[in-house]
Amino acid sequence: MPFINTKISVGIDEKKEEKLKAEFGKLVSIFGKDEKWVMVAFDQKTDIWFGGDKKEKAAYVSVSLVGDPDEESCKEFTTKVCELYKNELGITGDNIYITFHPVKGTNWGWNNQLF
């Protein structure tokens, strides 16, 4: 918690994956979360269609977290992710969707218990 699941149309090597993971670890502070609780997954070389066209460079980022983030935090996170993916993967913001999924602590399990 949070869990950041990202689907990208490009492939990345382990070094790039580490860098992106580390950046997401920093970015969750926008929501008042700590990196030690972050889980990140990358689905690479995923076919992504947008507006009827298959995109060479596109991404979908899904953010699930305990609690309900405010609009400003979501906006800041969106801006930072778009900058990150443009700089690191060459994916522009107009080819990135980001969704936020607030979850009640009683609906999120970990280590034999609920948050």
Q: How far apart, in whole angstroms, are the C-alpha atoms of residue 92 and residue 53?
A: 15
The DSSP call for residue 74 is H
Residue 95: exposure state from Cβ atoms within 10 A (0-12, 13-18, ≥19): buried
Give tens-digit pLDDT for 47-91.
999 999 999 999 999 999 998 999 999 999 999 999 999 999 999
The predicted structure's pLDDT at residue 38: 93
Which among 38, 31, 58, 36 has a CA at the least distance from the CA of 47?
58
Per the CB < 8 A criterion, the answer to whether 2 and 31 are in contact is yes
